[in-house]
Amino acid sequence: MDATEILGGLRPLVLVVDAAGTMLDARGGAGGFLGHVPADLVGQPVFDLVAPEALADVVGYFARLTGEPSHPKLLPMPFRSVASATDGRPHGVDVMPTGVVDEAGARTWVVLLIPHSLQTTVSGPLDAELSDAGRDEVRSRLCDELCYSNERGALRWYFVDLVDGRRVFGPSDDVELVPALQKLVDTGWAPWDVPSLPIDEPVRPRSVDDVLVPSRPPERLASAACEHCEPGQHFRLGYVPVELDGELIGVYLELRWVPEEGELAVRANVAGRIHDLCRVTALLLERWRDRDRLVLAATRDSLTGLANRDAFTDALAAASDPSAVLYVDVDRFKSVNDRLGHAAGDRVLVEIGRRIVAVCRPGDVVARFGGDEFVVLLDGVDLAAAEAIGERIVEAVSAPLFVNGAPEHVSSSVGVATCVPGTDPVDLADRAMLVAKRSGRARVVVA
């Protein structure tokens, strides 16, 4: 086998580029390189392969290198970029350039382009997570990992996050099938919850690790997906469960476009990559869950689950105009603890907190300031509306509640203050609450 055959059999693309950016030779890309035929690239500007959003960075990179003093060989570090497929879709690639200066001083570049879909490690999503990219972007990067398109067909991955409201995520370039899948999931479609229907084609050999469960695609999805099929291709659907400590936390949907005679078997190397993808996904979701728990612990009252003082202070700082604060104190709560015990008293506080939340609006911030004191931030509410909500709180707290099977009656005093620049509305509402207690309790007083 000579060098031409070796280069032609490579899956990555190898380019020879002159100093002006023209591709002098193109080899490799076996099976198709993002839809491009290597021979057709010769004579074309190399920057035509670069996605528009990455063009400035790539041009600047090579411009800086070209301006450096000449060396017999330049071996700059590999870098990541985005290439354009023939259909205009962006695909992440690793770029490995080697600069060569011949005896006459002419400079050329030998550039190796490796699509991320050919890599054996799930590095893109991890890089995005470590760089503090948004969680939605990380989930899209996960879906990018195993996508491919070549002369034998195409494969695309979608993730259903069962922890985050059964939201559907897809490859970063998808704007069509994600809405179709989300609509199906929203209407109750969940092939992973019931035994799968058999598909028409033979299922892959059972000797391969059992990671992909075939399922008959719904007609609505099949119709949308078949718009992406080439002539002679068929659409197939499979799914892979993602578990964490035995709990189903997500599902990958595999959408595959294959020729009529194309196989549905999952080869061992692909099964290994699917396992890696699921493992990394579970680790990321576990990391996010632990982070959310820490944030919750730092911003929530441990007894009632309401906001704590720090969370309330942050919300107050961001409040709009007009806004108001209610300071709620449970009347004679010490007698409840003395008669029933602190455990029963805690249950009473939890129930009072629930009642306050129930009569407030969904966006209002209800916090426990400690002991039997609660504070409410009413964002965008004027004084009259705030006083009316305070009256509802007094009424709700005064309703009978049952402790240890016996009815108990408690009441609350509420102080109201508007948020005026240069004042402390919490302190003003607290003072108004004290006036309410001195005036007979179980009432609302406006500061």
Domains of the chain with bracketed CATH: 3-116 (3.30.450.20), 123-297 (3.30.450.40), 309-446 (3.30.70.270)
pLDDT, position 121: 64
With helix as H, strand as E and coil as C, how does 265-292 read? CCCHHHHHHHHHHHHHHHHHHHHHHHHH
HSE-CB for 138 with a 13 A CA cutoff: 22
Question: Is residue 18 predicted with pLDDT exceeding 60?
Answer: yes
Phi, psi for residue 314 in degrees, rounded to 5: -65, -45
412 token code pair: 């609350």
What was the pLDDT predicted at 277?
87
Average pLDDT over residues 122-128: 76
Dump pLDDT digits (tens) for 129-159: 877 888 998 998 888 888 776 666 777 889 9
Structure tokens at 161: 């996050």
For the entire predicted model, the pTM comes to 0.61
Distance CA 10, CA 1 (A): 13
Question: 184-188: long-range contacts (C-beta < 8 A, 24 or more apart)?
Answer: 184/218, 184/220, 184/221, 185/160
Range among 123-127, 324-328, 330-334 with highest mean pLDDT value: 324-328
The number of beta carbons lying within 10 Å of the beta carbon of residue 159 is 23
Q: Residue 165: how many CB atoms within 10 A of its CB?
A: 8
Tokens representing residue 190 in the block: 């969940």
The DSSP line for 221-246 is: HHHHHHTTPPTTEEEEEEEEEEEETT
pLDDT digits (tens, 9 = 90+) for 282-294: 999 999 988 888 8
pLDDT tens, residue by residue, 69-96: 655 455 567 888 888 888 787 888 888 8
Of all residues in the chain, the percent with pLDDT exceeding 90 is 33
Whether 270 contacts 145, CB under 8 Å:
no
Mean pLDDT of 206-216: 48
Share of the chain above pLDDT 70, in %: 83
Contact between 327 and 430 under an 8 Å Cβ cutoff? The reply is yes
**Across all residues in the chain, what is the average pLDDT?**
82
Q: pLDDT per residue over 251-281, tens digit each?
A: 998 887 776 655 555 666 667 778 888 889 9
Q: What is the pLDDT of residues 382-407, one digit of tens each?
A: 999 999 999 999 999 999 888 777 77
